[in-house]
Amino acid sequence: MKQLKLSTIGQYYTYREESLFPLLISSLGYEIVWVDPDKCDVLIIGKPMHAVKWILKKGSFVILPDYYHTFIKTYIKKRHYKPLTLFHTCENLRHDSVKADYSISFDFSAEKERHYRLPYWMEMVDWSHEGLLGNKNKRFGKLFSISRMMQPLGGSFLSKPRKAALFASHLDGPRKKIYQAVKKVIATDGFGKYFDKNISNHSNSGFEKYNILKGYSFNLCPENKLYPGYYTEKIPEAFLGDTLPLTWSDKHVSVDFNPKSFINLEHIDWTNSEVLRELLLSEKELAAYAEQPLLLTPPSIEPFRGFCRNLLRHAM
């Protein structure tokens, strides 16, 4: 078994255990050894560290410059060879936000050889039928089943209490206004760090979304921002929790999901309570969603596996 030395800078703290990339590398027959950045074969770079405003007691502030790339260079400047660099983000960041040899992001991009679009929801899919085992989905409570997502939602959500659940660590941007608008029409319960200050982060919430959604007809699941390609785990979680997804996303979400299987608030006047009421309280309108699958074509992990093979050929 070949040994591959990996390291990270700027990644989330559970990356090594939860990301699909190292798991897939292992499935290709490599023994992964996690090392310091100055000893790695592949350096996996996460979110850039932008300028920070430091608020002083007197009310003035100092703007600290972004030393991100300089920081990386200090790790590798004494090496005999430069490690291969990979920018891998699960945030709404552009694939070229960080200068790197390769990138993995949400972006639709014409660059195919050096960039791979891997929307975050695909990290949560059960890929065991394609030989990839070991990924987890702790926050939801189970992996996403492709076969279930290709079946109609079904009418069970219509027999549950006609109310919505919202999971959120923050309600920035229009998300708070969307929450308030929906709450005027149907009962809406909030879960997560935004609603419970005792929760330190969403990975340690103490609950599984799947179990909570059993008591709701709807899952209010707006994306954090609108951007083509930026579609997270939110819609599949709602669907697989046997609830009707109430999302807020841009029109290109149809690339990933069947747009007839959920309500996209971006396409209606959600600020108008009457419009929301006619939609969310109409048995006829809601019954139509019960007949729709979330996926129209089955996704595959094989293209990503091919991308990783190509990346590794340049790393070793």
Residue with the bigger pLDDT between 76 and 28: it is: 28
How large is the average pLDDT for residues 46-71?
Answer: 48
Nearest-angstrom CA–CA distance, 236 and 122:
10
The CATH architecture that domain 146-289 belongs to is 3-Layer(aba) Sandwich (3.40)
Length of the chain: 316
pLDDT at site 56: 40
Contact 315, 1 (CB under 8 A): no
Nearest-angstrom CA–CA distance, 38 and 268:
52
pLDDT at site 205: 72
Does residue 60 have a pLDDT over 60? no
Contact 209, 140 (CB under 8 A): yes
Q: Give me 254's structure tokens.
A: 């149809």
Strands 188-191 and 102-105: unpaired
Closest residue by Cα to residue 118 from 86, 160, 83, 150: 86
Does residue 54 have a pLDDT over 60? no
Nearest-angstrom CA–CA distance, 20 and 181:
36
Q: Do domains 2-56+69-132+301-315 and 146-289 have the same CATH topology?
A: yes
pLDDT tens by residue, 210-265: 999 999 999 999 999 999 999 999 999 999 999 999 999 999 999 999 999 999 99
At 41, is the pLDDT very low, low, confident or very high (cuts 50, 70, 90)? very high
Residue ranges of domains in the chain: 2-56+69-132+301-315, 146-289
pLDDT tens by residue, 66-86: 344 555 666 566 666 689 999
Nearest-angstrom CA–CA distance, 189 and 68:
40
Please report which residue ranges of the chain form alpha helices under DSSP H.
15-18, 20-27, 68-76, 146-149, 175-183, 209-212, 234-240, 273-280, 283-289, 302-315
pLDDT tens by residue, 140-190: 999 999 999 999 999 999 999 999 999 999 999 899 999 999 999 999 999
Q: What element of type H or E holds 51? A: none
Helix (H, G, I), strand (E, B) or coil at 64: strand
How large is the average pLDDT for residues 95-101?
Answer: 92
Q: Give me 177's structure tokens.
A: 């206004």
Q: At what angle do helices 175-183 and 273-280 cross, to 10 degrees?
A: 70
Closest residue by Cα to residue 287 from 88, 186, 136, 153: 153
Q: Give Cβ neighbours of residue 188 (< 8 Å, ≥ 6 apart).
A: 163, 164, 165, 166, 179, 182, 220
pLDDT at site 206: 81
Q: Has this prediction a pTM greater than 0.85? A: yes
pLDDT at site 204: 72
pLDDT at site 315: 84
Closest residue by Cα to residue 43 from 93, 8, 5: 8
Nearest-angstrom CA–CA distance, 20 and 299:
15
Closest residue by Cα to residue 153 from 250, 94, 219: 219
Does residue 193 have a pLDDT over 80? yes
Contact 46, 40 (CB under 8 A): no
Q: What class does CATH assign to 2-56+69-132+301-315?
A: alpha beta
Nearest-angstrom CA–CA distance, 175 and 162:
21
How large is the average pLDDT for residues 19-33?
Answer: 96
